């Protein structure tokens, strides 16, 4: 998994709201570029049915193996004559939703575990962290492959598996921040005034968790897209004829000696997408770290 963002205690109570993304983008060029790239990717995925020049699954055997810059096929065609640029655009509609669902699963499940573990402490903390340690004992991609193999190859099961392997990162991150926050004066004062644990969590802990969690969401989205491509490459994710970047690389590797673009083009699409999310996450981490801000 990507490195979790560093947690640094600011002087005095931590800000109760996440810093506005637009304000950060105005002050930090990396955040601006990352946001712009991610926004373009989502726009491409949203408008794929409109901007795609061809049907991504329509075969034209007479036009097979056309190289890039061929008339009517800017990125060429594959072995079945399917337009590459159309399949790339529609592939974004697979990869980005996978990232969204996987991140949501990891964030909700991992965040809840981290909140309960960090705030309750004691035996509850011990037991929950041993479960997280058990998940961390396996490399993330290996665990995702094992889960999909057990559940059965499909895009839905790939989303579930990637979400499960994302749980430990969120659980450990949220627990670390909660352990820090619950010792701070404003939380101790609130507790001494008789506030219930639910009120403390909702009014004081969760708002102060937003900044580090936002960074982790950006970083883990890139990992989710890469993991989905790996699973599809192995035949465990999206199934033919669905236009999927990992699946396109699997097919294209057979033709590398004569038609390398069949594998290179979807590989470049994956690289740009993962880079965009990682750039956004790294830039947010730098912008939100109090030491770097100073």
Characterize 129-149 residue by residue with b for buried, 16 or more Cβ atoms within 10 angstroms of its Cβ, and e for exposed: beebeebbeeebbebbbebbe
Integer CA distances (angstroms), 164 to 231, 268, 292, in order = 14, 27, 32
Query: Which pLDDT does position 41 carry in this prediction?
Result: 93
Query: Which pLDDT does position 238 carry in this prediction?
Result: 85
Of 163, 64, 182, 175, the closest CA to residue 126 belongs to: 175
- Ranges under pLDDT 50 in the chain: 1-19
Q: Residue 164: which H helix or E strand, with range?
A: helix 155-181
Largest CA distance in the chain: 77
60, 81 contact by CB (below 8 A)? yes
Query: Which pLDDT does position 204 carry in this prediction?
Result: 82
Query: Which pLDDT does position 25 carry in this prediction?
Result: 65
Phi, psi (degrees; rounded to nearest 5) at 73: -140, 85
- pTM for this entry: 0.83
Hey, what domains does the chain have and what are their CATH numbers?
Answer: 84-289 (1.10.3720.10)
């Amino acid at each position: 998994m990507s490195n979790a963002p560093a947690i640094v205690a600011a002087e005095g109570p931590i800000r109760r709201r996440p810093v506005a993304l637009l304000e950060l983008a105005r002050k930090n060029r990396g955040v601006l570029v990352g946001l712009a790239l991610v926004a373009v990717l989502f726009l491409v995925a949203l408008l794929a049915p409109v901007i795609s020049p061809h049907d991504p699954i329509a075969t034209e055997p007479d036009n097979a193996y056309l190289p890039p810059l061929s008339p009517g096929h800017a990125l060429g065609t594959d072995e079945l004559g399917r337009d590459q640029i159309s399949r790339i655009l529609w592939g974004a509609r697979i990869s980005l939703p996978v990232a969204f669902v996987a991140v949501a699963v990891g964030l909700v499940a991992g965040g809840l575990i981290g909140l309960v573990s960090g705030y309750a402490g004691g035996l509850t903390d011990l037991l929950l962290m041993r479960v997280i340690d058990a998940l961390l004992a396996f490399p993330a991609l290996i665990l995702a492959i094992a889960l999909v193999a057990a559940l059965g190859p499909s895009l839905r099961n790939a989303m579930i598996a990637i979400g499960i392997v994302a749980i430990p990162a969120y659980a450990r991150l949220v627990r670390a921040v909660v352990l820090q926050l619950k010792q701070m004066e404003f939380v101790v004062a609130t507790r001494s005034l008789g506030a219930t644990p639910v009120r403390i969590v909702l009014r004081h802990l969760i708002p102060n968790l937003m900044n580090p969690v936002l960074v982790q969401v950006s970083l883990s989205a890139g990992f989710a897209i890469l993991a989905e491509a790996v699973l599809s490459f192995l035949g465990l994710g999206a199934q033919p004829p669905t236009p999927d970047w990992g699946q396109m690389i699997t097919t294209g590797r057979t033709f590398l000696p004569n038609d390398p673009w069949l594998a290179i083009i979807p590989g470049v699409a994956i690289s740009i997408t993962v880079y965009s999310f990682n750039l956004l996450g790294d830039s947010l981490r730098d912008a939100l770290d109090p030491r770097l801000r100073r």
